[in-house]
Copies of this chain bind each other. A is one copy, B any other.
Amino acid sequence: LPTFRITLAYDGTDYVGWQRQAEGPSIQGAVEDALRAIDERDVIVIGAGRTDAGVHAYGQVAGFTIARALSAEAVSRALNARLPADIRVVASEEVDAAFHARFDAISKTYRYRIWNGNAVSPFERRYVWHVAAPLDVAAMADAARLFEGTHDFAAFQAAGSATKTTVREVLHSALRTSHFEIITFDVEGTGFLRHMVRAIVGTLVEVGRGRRPPVWVADVLASRDRARAGPTAPASGLVLVSVAYGAPRALAAEP
């Protein structure tokens, strides 16, 4: 039975998130439905990251095993023929049957985009958070760097989360103005708590508005108190950019 690793891009605006839910369209559900038409049986698709409702992806990674002998190219083509246009398979490859999209991931990179200006471009409105107030980008960039390293991110997770540990390692955290009125925050980590990136961005905007100095980030981290950090930034600005894996295991040669 061939196992595949696919890379997905999606506009998450109209979805309840990655994970299949009782109500509403999910990305996982859309991919599983498309696979059912190809494989003629129920296939479970495992995603690298459980993106929330309204969150987008340039490079979500998912894995699954099917019963039909198809090439990676054929799987990709068949999926794109059946998926809605706001979900696309942008890459696919056959991998070792032991591949697990979530557990094998070494790091994930997210991007958050803020539209800092008056009129949000109609072409960007689904993919940004509109902050009309002037923002001090240099102060935000200083603050963004303070998230790098291994920290207890308890102050930056969704209320009511019950994770074993709230310690996470952030490999890279940088903020810059990119084009038009867009401020871009890129963050790579070995793992993320629920709403962690959005709570970080809400905190960076507090700094950008001049309400707090950049070093305040260290106090918030030390507090482990969600109430001390900034608000959770809206889902629309968040994109799962890519998921990194180790060197691929060689496919077992067919006997």
Contacts and interface: CB of A to CB of B under 8 A. Distances in A.
B80 A122 contact: no
Contact of A11 (B11, B86, B123): B123
Interface string A95-132: 00000000000000000000000111111010100000
Interface in A54-88: 56, 76-77, 80, 85-88
Contacts of A120: 85, 88
Contact of A121 (B88, B119, B121): B88
A112 to B, nearest CB: 15
Interface string A138-169: 00000000000000000000000000000000
A119 B123 CA distance: 20
A134 to B, nearest CB: 16
A129 to B, nearest CB: 14
Main secondary structure of the interface of A (DSSP, over half): mixed
Given A80-B118, A90-B119, A125 B9 contact: no
A185 interface: no
A88 B11 contact: no
Interface residues of A, number: 21
A34 interface: no
A127 B76 CA distance: 23
B10 A122 contact: yes
Contact of A80 (B89, B90, B119): B119
Contacts of A121: 9, 88, 90
A210 B196 CA distance: 51
A67 B120 CA distance: 28
Interface in A35-58: 56
A122 B89 contact: no
19 contacts: A9-B119, A9-B122, A10-B122, A11-B122, A11-B123, A56-B122, A76-B118, A77-B118, A80-B119, A85-B120, A85-B125, A87-B122, A88-B119, A88-B120, A88-B121, A88-B122, A89-B119, A90-B119, A90-B121
Q: Which 6 A-B pairs have the closest CB atoms?
A: A88-B119, A11-B122, A86-B122, A85-B125, A80-B119, A90-B119
Given A85-B125, A90-B119, A90-B121, 10 more contacts: A9-B122, A56-B123, A76-B118, A76-B119, A80-B118, A85-B120, A85-B122, A86-B122, A87-B122, A88-B121
